[in-house]
Structure 1
């Protein structure tokens, strides 16, 4: 079964803000933003948490509409849904990214 991705019109500001309000998830968003529009392999972003915890953070970002995930063979990829977030909430992603990095406790 394919993972759930909300369409642009289903994205809610409360859900997106809650997803971006966690320092680990913001670290993921920053890494994806620096990684370019084609996305990155999920395993290339080291967020310093267990696989189960990382899966939780990926799910929260995906279900909020902040990221898109897909699979090619056995590899999992992820990309920032920059255009969708910007269209739905103009300036939000840029403001969050420019707010400065939060420290993530090991």
Structure 2
């Protein structure tokens, strides 16, 4: 049986600029944001992304993005699905997400 639980998500309106900048400063987190921008809401599970980092490290990156108001996550069964909070984040930090999404992705591991 699948159960759905929502995690506590941070409203981007409550996020400081420094925290938003820190969240997108890491190349792994920027790759997560870029990947989620191409997927419909809540269709991409955390484990579906090929991040080439340890599971604990990936969990940390998702937590940082959620704490910065960039992600909303929901648990369905044993999987955690994501939504990029584009409209909400853009309202708080106009143009910042567009810069991240426009960046050419470097090769993973390089």
TM-score, normalised relative to structure 2 = 0.85
Structure 1 residue ranges without an equivalent (≥5): none
1:1-106 matches, cutoff 5 A = 3-105=7-109
Runs (4+) of structure 1 exceeding 4 A deviation are none
Question: RMSD value over aligned CA atoms?
Answer: 1.9
Structure 2 residue ranges without an equivalent (≥5): none
Q: State the alpha-carbon separation in 1 of the partners of residues 105 and 80 from structure 2.
A: 25
Alignment size in residue pairs: 106
TM-score, normalised relative to structure 1 = 0.88
Check whether the contact 2:71–2:82 (CA below 8 A) recurs between aligned residues: yes
User: Structure 1's 33 and 91: CA in aligned 2 closer, same or farther, altered over 3 A?
Assistant: same
